[in-house]
A = this chain, B = another copy of it.
């Protein structure tokens, strides 16, 4: 039997930002807002809503300020926005964002190709973001991509993740997300990584972000749970593909995660049926396939 604190798992729903950003077809702000409202009504405690990034880089996020203002915020829910740089943070400040996410990488090649700077340059950028955010009482959460493998460099060693994590910690980032961006990890690698990172980021300050490209996301999350991690990113209906292999699966579906967590006796505060319907709403709008097996089974049985 678990203690009440230990049985609580916090899910950060990333579909509105991470899930939608790779969608080519434009999704109007009202649709995104309705989607976010359905998610919060389903009991999702944290929602990554948009990115304060240049529309030149991510056209789907061009409506960030307008979108943010139109969200009917629900008390108790955390709304997150990604900021790639200080300019983005200024926009976030204007929009009264309370918590931002900075997105780095532990792979030099991935950093150069995806955020157009070296790892050290990205840390430098993040440190400016942290400094300005602190002045405005805005919390900053860090995410590191490619922590179990890189599409360009291949396998990544845990000590490389530790090296970059130390730098993130040194600039004042107290909550870190570890992402398996290409979904190549398996549980033993996950456990090794968590073991080595624990001296810098204690387990309660960590979150994990898994992709289901090789079907390993849920088993990796289970390994994280056994190691004490209680915070996970996921995307309803598995929204968001894999940009490194067209047709392959991207983010783990929130439905699968919630199904497992509830089966294991964890509390998420989420109503699975309402969650499925939120994903179904966006998939119907986009007219593409739902990547959640839980949703497919539920919707098939209902029809």
* Chain A contacts to B: CB under 8 angstroms: 183, 185-189, 212-216, 218-219, 221-223, 242, 244-249, 253, 255-256, 259-260, 263-265, 292-294, 296-297, 299-301
Q: Do A249 and B293 touch across chains, with their CB atoms under 8 A apart?
A: yes
Contact partner of A212 (CB less than 8 A), chosen from B188, B221, B245, B293, is B293
Q: Interface centre among A212, A242, A249, A293, by most B CB within 10 Å? A: A293
In the complex, which residue of chain B has the Cβ closest to the Cβ of A223? Answer: B222
Chain B residues with CB under 8 Å of A248's CB are 293, 296-297, 300-301
Q: Tell me whether A215 and B256 are in contact in the complex, defined as CB-CB below 8 angstroms, given that A187-B264, A265-B188 are known contacts.
A: yes
Q: Interface centre among A189, A264, A296, by most B CB within 10 Å? A: A296
Distance in Å: Cβ of A291 to nearest Cβ of chain B: 9
In the complex, which residue of chain B has the Cβ closest to the Cβ of A218? Answer: B219
Q: Do A245 and B297 touch across chains, with their CB atoms under 8 A apart?
A: yes
Q: Do A264 and B186 touch across chains, with their CB atoms under 8 A apart?
A: yes
Q: Interface centre among A214, A222, A296, by most B CB within 10 Å? A: A214
In the complex, which residue of chain B has the Cβ closest to the Cβ of A261? Answer: B186
Q: Do B189 and A263 touch across chains, with their CB atoms under 8 A apart?
A: yes
Chain B residues with CB under 8 Å of A219's CB are 218-219, 221-222, 260
Q: Do A293 and B245 touch across chains, with their CB atoms under 8 A apart?
A: no
Q: Do A256 and B188 touch across chains, with their CB atoms under 8 A apart?
A: no
Distance in Å: Cβ of A182 to nearest Cβ of chain B: 9
Q: Kindly state the separation between the CA atoms of A101 and B296 in the bound complex, as whole angstroms.
A: 31
A-B contact pairs, 17 of them (CB 8 A): A185-B263, A186-B264, A187-B222, A187-B264, A212-B293, A214-B259, A215-B253, A215-B292, A215-B294, A216-B259, A216-B260, A216-B263, A219-B221, A219-B222, A244-B301, A247-B296, A249-B293
